[in-house]
Structure 1
Amino acid sequence: MIDRIVERLVGACIRHALIVLFLALAAAGALGWTAATRLGMDTDVAKLIAADLPWRERELTFDRLFPQEVDLLAVVVDGQAPDLADHAATAIAERLRTRTDLFKTVRMPGSGPFFERNGILFLPTEEIRALTDRLIEAQPLIGVLAADPSARGLFGVLDRMLEGVERKQATMAQIAAPLDAVGAAVGAALQGRTEPVAWSTLLTGRDPAPEELRRFVLAQPILDFDELEAAAKPTGFIRDTVRQLGLTPDHGVRVRITGSVALNDEEFATVSEGAGESLALSAVLVLVILFLAVRSPRLIVPIMVTLVVGLVCTAGFAALAVGTLNPISVAFAVMFIGIAVDFGIQVCVRYREQRFNISEPDAAMRATGREVGRPLLLAAATTAAGFLAFVPTAYVGVSQLGLIAGAGMVIAVLLNLTLLPALLTLFHPSPEREHVGIAAARPLDRALLRHRRAVLAVAGLAALGSVALLTQLRFDFNPLNLQNPHTEAMSTMRDLMDSPRTSPFSIEVVTPNVKAAAELADRLSTLPEVGEVISVSGFVPEDQPAKLALLADAAQFIGPTLALAGTEPPPTTDDIRKAAAEVAARLVRVGAPERAEALQRLAKSDDATVQRAATAMTTGLKARLDGIAAILDAQPVTLDSLPPDLVRDYVAPDGRARVTVFPKGDSHDNATIVRFVDAVRAVAPQATGVAVTIQESGDTISAAFLRAAVLALVAVTVLLALALRRVRDVVLVVAPLVLALLLTMGLCVLVGLSLNYANIIALPLLLGIGVAFNIYFVVNWRAGHGEPLASPTARAVLFSALTTAAAFGTLALSHHPGTASMGLLLCIALGCTLLTAVFVLPALLGPVPTKQEG
């Protein structure tokens, strides 16, 4: 009955070909207009997973309580000296705060008056003791520089020190550090560069720790999710600001942008990079393969027109059904092209074969409909069922994709049974002069039939081997591994991952109050997997009386000296030249002429060079002197005296308090993150944060695909059972598909390819194409057609697989690792699907059944 219905439908379409074409184009026009005006793009990756999952609810609760931590751009400022990093970060933050149209909030963690005055109290007591001793020893130097914080004042200090050497009251070794620092700054200035003096080291007697050379500006941009790069404008403003302020490595500062928002934007930019070239290459390859398959432009054009009309109609359905695409569901176009082109090739190859047997075009077209209708409808139905199985999952991105792709299969099969026959009638392809199948494959057909037991044995062994390898198959839940490691945001993030304190894989725990947060922090800090724990109580330093006493003693010696700050008038360039010449002369007298050379040249340099040297020598000096004055005035810190902004970062308005936990060990290692999450959640099951989110996301996605795969397999089996009505035939369709899936997973293990958020989308495509290929062969076999590999069906299947591989294979060349892995997995899946359909399935089918058997 189905065969007769399809034959009549095709007959009506070819009789009224122009009307069918007009109706199809009108529908495409209306749905295309709908797609153009109503179909949007939402690049917010936070919406890809359902919000009603328990872990997502905890995540959203944290975001609501601490909104300042959501969607951040992190501006990482590295300076050659702490003062340079401070100055640069402060300047950037001030500029960003003026643009309330681009940024919601802008803050500098660990900065501000509170940390400038009391930050020293977080150091160990012995370290504060050593620091205050050094400051007391440097009191004469500090006094002179406080009175004249300029290049002239600095040269004056060096002159006095050298005078002490000249009188045998000191040695050159004792004053080598300031001499070397000034000499380096002057030498760089003479070469046109600026290398600031590290005042922090000179005044405190210790080299700054790496974290002291780095500052962060955390900005919350106003995002536009209608754009591919949601933070393009705010990010562009930051880069313009850095350029205008001259914050470059030549000036002792390096500024980079990272954070969740920057990573997302760079990911979308990387995905789109080279997309035009890949699309063009893919289109050329598809056209070449189509020509090899159907051998005539009069067949290729109808296939392509039908494909485009179907794609436009599917986009219109997407606009009506979901309204907004996400970064996953946008792949519906890829899915549609990959499978719908197979339908077109099947129709055209079968039509070519009928034209070889039947000279009259309309009769050949009706015969094609009668022959191809049932397998095409069954393939479309089972493929659609496979896609629709993803709709009920919690992975919203793929759920949306499943709905659109499933509807697309219905649209595709309807167009290939209506519009394509009408177009073929209008284009009048030439009749065929020879058999359309693959005549050279007849010996292979006979060999497969003769040695079918051996082929099935090999297939069975391959399946067992693949099952054994499945234990080594991994799902890489870390989204950072999918991004180009060479982009600024990604390379910066990997740099931050080297330090436990700046690892992005932190955990957040919301507790009822500040006391509960402090108690939980104490328990978590004892875990071997934990590197550091921060709560608001942690900002109250320990052993404060002893530390404050040391600072008070130092203040008695240094305080009066600092009170004389800025009593000397600013020097002129001539004053600086004179001072430099005096120090150079003193160096010659004490027997260090090699140190005097740069200063002698400076004394004879132009004003620009002198000013450059002066800037290098004094940048950060005033700030460092002010910093010394501030720490000598440190005050006792209590919870009540903490700055409100700092408290708000850790305590919500309703009193609930957060605890931030950082991992110990290598944050680049997924196993480290898994152990860290498991250990923390054993103590605090309500934990959330990036480390928890990425692991839970991976579990959710893998569970969604497993659930959908089972549901799809059940749905496909039921449909096949209803259509084929024999258990054996259902097994014949499903068994090669299961084998292809096992082989694909086994090969992934062998080539070291992990499943991830991106490439796992290849699995629904494997299901759709695999079911279709197998159905074509089984239906032909039931109809009594022998020699499956020599048949037109085999030709259609082969070239269908090649066109799909050409369409998707170029993805493997992408600069985006996730997209490249998707392309690679698609090629592996297609290869396995074709292998099982062409070699294993004919061996399973065996001899063509007799009429009694059928």
Structure 2
Amino acid sequence: MRRTLEFLARGISSLVWTLPVPIVLCSIVVAGASAWLAATRLRVINDTDAIIRPDSPIHRNYLQYKNEFQAEGDYVVVVRSNDPEKNREVAQKIGEALKQMSPPLRRVLYRLDFSRLEDRFLLFLDTDDLRQIEKDLQGYLKALRQPKVRLNVHSMLDQANARFSEAYLRKAENWKEFKPFIDQFIAMLNRLADTVEGRVTVRTPVASPAESKASKVAQAKLEDFQRLKTENEFISFDQGRIILVLASPPIGAQATDENQRIVHRLRQVLATIQTQNPQVHIGLTGEPVLAADELETSSQDTIRATGIAFALVALLYVVAYGELWRPLVAIVVLVLALCGSLGFATLAIGHLNLISEAFVAMVVGLGIDFGIQIMSRYEEELALGRSLRDALDNTLRHTGVAILTGGATTAVAFFSMCFNDFIGLAEFGAVAGAGVLFCLVGNLIVLPAAYILRDRGREPHKLQTEASRSHWAAGPFVHRILFSFPWGVLAAAAVASWLAWQYAQKVTFDYNLLHLQNPKLESVQEELSLLQSPANSVVVAVSVANDLEEAKKRVEQFKKLPTVRDLHSLTEFFPEKISEKQALIRRIVQRLKGARIQTDVRSQINVARVRRDLASLLEKSREGYREAKKYTAFAQQARDAVEVFSKLIPPLERALAAMEQTSQEELGRRLNRYQIEVFGAMQRNLAWLASQKVDRPIGLEDLPVELLERYRSPSGRILIEISPKESPWDHQSLARFVKDLRTIDPNVTGTPVENYEYIELLRKAYLDAARWALIVVAILVAIHFLHPGYILLTLLPLGLGSLWALGIVGLAQIPFNPANIITLPLVLGIGVAYGIYAVDRYQEEGRMNLFSTSTGKAILLSAVTALIGFGSLLVSTHRGLYSIGLLMLVGIGSCLVTSLWVLPQILCLLDRWRLLRKQPTSLASDADANQARPAAVESTLDSPRGSPCTPLETGQAAVPSDPGPNHLGGYRETQKDPAAPQEKKTSEPPAS
């Protein structure tokens, strides 16, 4: 295999030497065409539907539901303040503005029209409530039949005064009627006192968009049904303090750039209304908004990270090599390779997703790795005095073969992601793996061709001098510092590995998708705010029933589940026990026939009369309290009287005290308003009760059109929306919720179910990709070296580095999440390359001479560029991209330390062991020692030829091994002038 790869490298070398101009021109043309394709046709999407296989059983249910009900995630406008009436006013304005918005929205739901149900509202009440209404109605009708009784303030006070007569109260049978009357009278007095004091009585609205709005009416009995209907027409929560306006995007818009345009326009419209209503908070969230914000944030972060990576890599090149031209060529080749990668992505896939768009910043750090290796070895060969052709041949035969294997392992790590059911991950693996291959080809063919074009025809002496300036290697002191105590370093590494293993077991996984987004985004803050409110979340699961009867059965079953909070469906509008309710309603309507129902209560109130009547009631109450107090020990009736009067006196005192502090004119206005609100509502309620119909049951044609569009498909199937009791973003509660729902409907779907399956699928896909990457990496390393010792030496730093990285992650309590779990296969593919380069150079040299050659420098710079590429993601406000950069820094940094510090310690010990094994038992003289050490010794590994980490015994002479003019190994104390003429020598390395 080694000979095959070297033969391939010689062929590439001959091609580059022969056709440098066509190679460079062809690469420019291909890159230009690719860039044009990407600029005109490549798009970035954030659509879950496009990154999960459509034939997946779970996703198939979701797609079927979306297609059948034309369902898209809703834009959710949140209107919030402590003034319910103002909230309704603002929600009305927002709804009307959204209906007129351009580009147009498909559907806007902000107010439900219940007019077609108004004459059948009583059917929504329980039979007990209807019986109570019938019973209460008897009292009203009895009073209305009396000639002087009217439903107004004066009549109310007259009736109260009449009941406070001594003759009435002394009869025990009257107390059965008196006590309920007093309870109602006290409530009316408290409201009267509130009105006189100028207070606004807050009414309790009903929540939920699809919940039966009339089901709460029973609590109010004969209160203002019209008011309740008006309040319940809005999607309100927390007693009207929160109102939602829902808008649906056009079909398919969420997966396109149109979604971002719509969100931008929505924010403009809402900002205008917010300016006009500063006392009300207006926010925007919902699935399409979260998706648009995430896409915009990640795209901006990726562009910024790519720019930073390019700038830092270019700066590093210039500083490290002390010149501009060769690093600049390497960067240009990297740009050409990236253009080719984008062209491939355009032709092969047609788009990037939130995962795959990050490949650009990654490939910047990884692709330049190959250029560093090629350029460093090329300059080293020129600095050693090789001819241009020999420098090219040696670079590609040795370093070229190493980066071919290293690049293949990195590409395979990416391509291993293609073999799973998660399309988003497969797309990322394809474009990133292709990007690595483009970079590999560019640096093996285009970069050498560019160097040959420039350097051909230049004087060898100038080439050598220029290369000597930029080529550097570590001095002896570096080796003494790093490799003097190998056993101590390995012992420390063993301790670090044990600690890492302990902390690696504490690594956790964060399933919460909201934690990936920038928490400062308005859409994220609004979603979190809803989670802490009675509205909970707008994220619901859905179940689809074939007909209304099946939907009713499922609703009853879902209601019994402990993880379910609310259910929204058309079934709430089809009450049970219709026949029994119709009979009760007929009796109610029949009783109201012929009743004297006044239609206008706006008659002027006599303020003086009201004062006089209230004062009389207060005096009678105090007197009655004093008299009853005397007999509490003897009579139950006296105790009842004390209780009644003690409750009645405070509101009477409040009302009279407020009247004393209010002008006559203002008091008249307030009392008249009270009369209209209270008794006008009573009159309207009685008229409304008389208008109720029971000629037929409620039908679909009676329901609001907005609800029918949302909850009934064209084929007649019925949708059930199910809200979780706990947060749908918490994995454990989400798992319980989905598990419970599936006991009722195995095909239940919706965003919570999709998220649950999506994350599990994603996690499994990455773990599988990591396993496949490890297997293929091991196979490629085995094919490259074909020797158990070298294979183990190459994989050891990868294993240790991965373990250390997991330990650091556990120690720092950095959780894996659906975004950064991508680092598992990446670290394997990238981290093994450093071990390949180090062991390959050891095999070539036959000794541990890593930092005295260009390879140590190249590995270091390669790792730094990779750290820059991934570290640039740390500027991201998108938490997912940030966590990817953080974990890759930890992983690559750990593999770098194990490859450049721990692995060389083992290689040093091997050098010493093999040298000592070949030493004579006694050293008589320096000459004997020199004769005893052969220049090359065959062993299981290549023999060390004067390794800088091999200690010399006292009096032992060093035997140089082709140190070359710039060789800074530990055996040479002097160094030749790099510019001096060199003897021509054969540079063939020892056979592997």
Question: TM-score, normalization: structure 1?
Answer: 0.79
Following superposition, the deviation at residue 527 of structure 1 comes to 2.3
In structure 2, C-alpha distance between the alignment counterparts of 1:304 and 1:497, rounded to whole Å: 48
Equivalent position of 1:71 in the other structure = 73
Equivalent position of 1:34 in the other structure = 37
In structure 1, C-alpha distance between the alignment counterparts of 2:334 and 2:104, rounded to whole Å: 42
Q: Which moved more, 1:262-271 or 1:833-842?
A: 833-842
SS in 2 for 1:103: coil
**Higher RCO (C-alpha under 8 Å, 6+ residues apart):** 1
Contact 2:552/2:571 (8 A) holds in 1: yes
Among residues 291, 294, 298, which one is paired with 1:267 in the alignment?
294
In structure 1, C-alpha distance between the alignment counterparts of 2:594 and 2:307, rounded to whole Å: 72
In structure 2, C-alpha distance between the alignment counterparts of 1:337 and 1:799, rounded to whole Å: 13
Q: 1:551 to 1:312 in 2, by over 3 A?
A: farther
Contact 2:712/2:719 (8 A) holds in 1: yes
SS in 1 for 2:857: helix
Following superposition, the deviation at residue 248 of structure 1 comes to 5.0
Q: Which moved more, 1:414-423 or 1:217-226?
A: 217-226
Stretches of structure 2 that go unaligned for 5 or more consecutive residues are 142-151, 160-184, 203-218, 456-462, 605-654, 670-675, 915-936, 942-992
SS in 1 for 2:92: helix
SS in 1 for 2:770: helix
Q: Which moved more, 1:45-54 or 1:226-235?
A: 226-235
Equivalent position of 2:472 in the other structure = 436
Q: Which moved more, 1:556-565 or 1:785-794?
A: 556-565
Equivalent position of 2:427 in the other structure = 400
Question: In angstroms, what is the RMSD of aligned CA positions?
Answer: 4.8
In structure 1, C-alpha distance between the alignment counterparts of 2:368 and 2:794, rounded to whole Å: 21
In structure 2, C-alpha distance between the alignment counterparts of 1:19 and 1:769, rounded to whole Å: 32
In structure 1, C-alpha distance between the alignment counterparts of 2:879 and 2:291, rounded to whole Å: 14
Following superposition, the deviation at residue 402 of structure 1 comes to 1.2
SS in 2 for 1:658: strand
Q: Which moved more, 1:550-559 or 1:342-351?
A: 550-559
2:910 corresponds to 1:847: yes
SS in 2 for 1:508: strand
Partner deviation per Cα, 1:800-847 (whole Å, 9 max, x = no partner): 222222222232232222222222222222222222222333345452
Equivalent position of 2:811 in the other structure = 750
* Equivalent residue letter for 2:91: A
In structure 1, C-alpha distance between the alignment counterparts of 2:125 and 2:398, rounded to whole Å: 83
Partner deviation per Cα, 1:219-254 (whole Å, 9 max, x = no partner): 221277699754233334444444555675435x43
Equivalent position of 1:808 in the other structure = 870
Residue correspondence of structure 1 range 502-521 to structure 2 within 5 A: 502-521=536-555
2:243 corresponds to 1:215: yes
* Equivalent residue letter for 2:398: E
Equivalent position of 2:959 in the other structure = none
Q: 1:371 to 1:641 in 2, by over 3 A?
A: closer
Q: 1:295 to 1:176 in 2, by over 3 A?
A: farther
Partner deviation per Cα, 1:68-87 (whole Å, 9 max, x = no partner): x3232122333544443334
2:316 corresponds to 1:289: yes
In structure 1, C-alpha distance between the alignment counterparts of 2:413 and 2:869, rounded to whole Å: 21
Q: Which moved more, 1:433-442 or 1:542-551?
A: 542-551
Following superposition, the deviation at residue 535 of structure 1 comes to 4.1
Following superposition, the deviation at residue 754 of structure 1 comes to 2.2
SS in 1 for 2:567: strand
In structure 2, C-alpha distance between the alignment counterparts of 1:62 and 1:631, rounded to whole Å: 41
Among residues 263, 267, 271, which one is paired with 1:235 in the alignment?
263
In structure 1, C-alpha distance between the alignment counterparts of 2:849 and 2:685, rounded to whole Å: 88
SS in 1 for 2:417: coil
Following superposition, the deviation at residue 210 of structure 1 comes to 0.9
SS in 2 for 1:390: helix
Among residues 60, 64, 67, which one is paired with 1:61 in the alignment?
64
In structure 2, C-alpha distance between the alignment counterparts of 1:553 and 1:672, rounded to whole Å: 49
In structure 1, C-alpha distance between the alignment counterparts of 2:262 and 2:682, rounded to whole Å: 32
SS in 2 for 1:432: helix
In structure 2, C-alpha distance between the alignment counterparts of 1:550 and 1:752, rounded to whole Å: 68
Q: 1:791 to 1:658 in 2, by over 3 A?
A: same
Following superposition, the deviation at residue 341 of structure 1 comes to 0.8
Following superposition, the deviation at residue 31 of structure 1 comes to 2.5
Equivalent position of 1:193 in the other structure = none
Residue correspondence of structure 1 range 43-58 to structure 2 within 5 A: 43-58=46-61
Contact 1:116/1:627 (8 A) holds in 2: no
Following superposition, the deviation at residue 307 of structure 1 comes to 0.5
Following superposition, the deviation at residue 740 of structure 1 comes to 2.8
* Equivalent residue letter for 1:497: L
In structure 1, C-alpha distance between the alignment counterparts of 2:200 and 2:519, rounded to whole Å: 39
Equivalent position of 1:152 in the other structure = none
Following superposition, the deviation at residue 135 of structure 1 comes to 13
Q: Which moved more, 1:446-455 or 1:222-231?
A: 222-231
Equivalent position of 2:726 in the other structure = 665
In structure 2, C-alpha distance between the alignment counterparts of 1:723 and 1:690, rounded to whole Å: 47
Partner deviation per Cα, 1:723-749 (whole Å, 9 max, x = no partner): 221233333333432333333333333
Equivalent position of 1:792 in the other structure = 854
Q: Which moved more, 1:281-290 or 1:691-700?
A: 281-290
In structure 1, C-alpha distance between the alignment counterparts of 2:481 and 2:528, rounded to whole Å: 53
Equivalent position of 1:175 in the other structure = 192
In structure 1, C-alpha distance between the alignment counterparts of 2:688 and 2:385, rounded to whole Å: 98
Percent identity over paired residues: 26
In structure 2, C-alpha distance between the alignment counterparts of 1:558 and 1:477, rounded to whole Å: 66
Following superposition, the deviation at residue 47 of structure 1 comes to 0.8
* Equivalent residue letter for 1:847: L
Residue correspondence of structure 1 range 752-771 to structure 2 within 5 A: 752-771=813-832
SS in 2 for 1:216: strand
Equivalent position of 2:703 in the other structure = 643
* Equivalent residue letter for 1:680: L
* Equivalent residue letter for 1:473: T
The number of aligned residues is 787
Q: 1:726 to 1:226 in 2, by over 3 A?
A: farther
Residue correspondence of structure 1 range 416-455 to structure 2 within 5 A: 416-427=443-454, 430-433=466-469, 436-439=472-475, 440-447=477-484, 449-451=486-488, 453-455=490-492
Following superposition, the deviation at residue 416 of structure 1 comes to 0.8
* Equivalent residue letter for 1:643: L
SS in 2 for 1:389: helix
Contact 1:339/1:768 (8 A) holds in 2: no
In structure 2, C-alpha distance between the alignment counterparts of 1:158 and 1:823, rounded to whole Å: 74
SS in 1 for 2:248: strand
Contact 1:58/1:688 (8 A) holds in 2: yes
Contact 1:222/1:234 (8 A) holds in 2: no
Among residues 873, 881, 887, which one is paired with 1:819 in the alignment?
881
Q: Which moved more, 1:428-437 or 1:481-490?
A: 428-437
In structure 1, C-alpha distance between the alignment counterparts of 2:589 and 2:360, rounded to whole Å: 73
* Equivalent residue letter for 1:461: W
SS in 1 for 2:502: helix
Equivalent position of 1:487 in the other structure = 521
Equivalent position of 1:388 in the other structure = 415
Q: Which moved more, 1:693-702 or 1:446-455?
A: 446-455
Contact 1:352/1:431 (8 A) holds in 2: yes
* Equivalent residue letter for 1:432: S
In structure 2, C-alpha distance between the alignment counterparts of 1:76 and 1:654, rounded to whole Å: 32
In structure 2, C-alpha distance between the alignment counterparts of 1:434 and 1:515, rounded to whole Å: 82
Q: Which moved more, 1:312-321 or 1:301-310?
A: 312-321
Question: TM-score, normalization: structure 2?
Answer: 0.69
Q: 1:669 to 1:117 in 2, by over 3 A?
A: farther
In structure 1, C-alpha distance between the alignment counterparts of 2:587 and 2:264, rounded to whole Å: 44
Following superposition, the deviation at residue 786 of structure 1 comes to 0.9
SS in 2 for 1:418: helix
2:441 corresponds to 1:409: no
In structure 1, C-alpha distance between the alignment counterparts of 2:586 and 2:268, rounded to whole Å: 45
SS in 2 for 1:738: helix
* Equivalent residue letter for 2:42: L
Residue correspondence of structure 1 range 449-598 to structure 2 within 5 A: 449-451=486-488, 453-455=490-492, 457-458=494-495, 460-462=497-499, 464-469=501-506, 472-474=507-509, 476-499=510-533, 502-541=536-575, 563-564=599-600
Following superposition, the deviation at residue 32 of structure 1 comes to 2.3
Partner deviation per Cα, 1:702-723 (whole Å, 9 max, x = no partner): 1111222222222222222222
In structure 2, C-alpha distance between the alignment counterparts of 1:624 and 1:284, rounded to whole Å: 77
2:726 corresponds to 1:690: no
Q: Which moved more, 1:206-215 or 1:269-278?
A: 206-215
In structure 1, C-alpha distance between the alignment counterparts of 2:288 and 2:567, rounded to whole Å: 25
In structure 1, C-alpha distance between the alignment counterparts of 2:684 and 2:789, rounded to whole Å: 87
Equivalent position of 2:144 in the other structure = none
